[in-house]
Amino acid sequence: MAKFEARTSAEPGRVTVTLSGECDLSAREHLTSVLLDALSRAKAVFVDMALLTFLDSSGVHSLITAHHAAKHTGARVYIVGAGGPVAAVLDLTGVGDLLRAPAEERRHV
């Protein structure tokens, strides 16, 4: 099983979820749960992917699930810090554009 970790930190009005390791099928339920919990606590959830080394369709599914949940409550999910193969998956699927944080917000995470 691949090592995966999702840690949250809260500031007024926002929660940052920092991902590290490999996000695959074994991590999907955990990631979805963490993202939905973060959305229950803030209207803006930033998913920091700078330490994530692998992302497959299971992780993309979790992000989309959180995005749809956020839309129903007027909240937003943003991704920041993705690089290398993780950024390539996000770009290939269109999720990178869909969940891209505004430029001014990317500097604060």
List the chain pLDDT tens, one digit each, 109 residues: 469 999 999 999 999 999 999 999 999 999 999 999 999 999 999 999 999 999 999 999 999 999 999 999 999 999 999 999 999 999 999 999 999 998 766 555 5
Which residues are registered as beta bridge partners of 13? Answer: none
Domain count, the chain: 1
**Structure confidence at residue 91 (pLDDT):** 97
Amino acid identity, position 101 = A
Cα(74)–Cα(58) distance, integer angstroms: 24
Domain that holds residue 71: 4-106
Entry pTM: 0.92
Cα(33)–Cα(13) distance, integer angstroms: 19
**Cβ neighbours for 64, distance < 8 A, ≥ 6 positions apart:** 95
**Structure confidence at residue 44 (pLDDT):** 97
**Structure confidence at residue 14 (pLDDT):** 96
CATH of the domain at 58: 3.30.750.24
Cα(53)–Cα(22) distance, integer angstroms: 6
